[in-house]
Amino acid sequence: MLQKQDLIDIARTEMPFGKYAGRLLIDLPEEYLLWFAKKEFPKGRLGHLMALTLEIKIEGLEGLVKPLKKQ
């Protein structure tokens, strides 16, 4: 189930490794998240947030998350 804190974390958490290290989860390309979905998302909170980010992008709901980014 999607929680308010999940949306905040998706908007403010940076990808800690890989090609897009330092980029906020909500700003990751959908193709990158789809690649992880095929291979396997990381374990733990990061993987959970990445999977939710993919669902948000697929459903076209990015507009709900982007206003939560820190200015």
C-alpha–C-alpha distance, residues 51 and 35, integer Å: 11
Asked whether the predicted pLDDT for residue 71 surpasses 70, the reply is no
Residue type, 51: A
Asked whether the predicted pLDDT for residue 35 surpasses 80, the reply is yes
24, β-bridge pairs:
14
C-alpha–C-alpha distance, residues 63 and 33, integer Å: 18
Asked whether the predicted pLDDT for residue 14 surpasses 80, the reply is yes
Percent above pLDDT 90 for the chain: 87
Asked whether the predicted pLDDT for residue 1 surpasses 80, the reply is no
Percent above pLDDT 70 for the chain: 99
**Domain segments of the chain as ranges:** 4-66
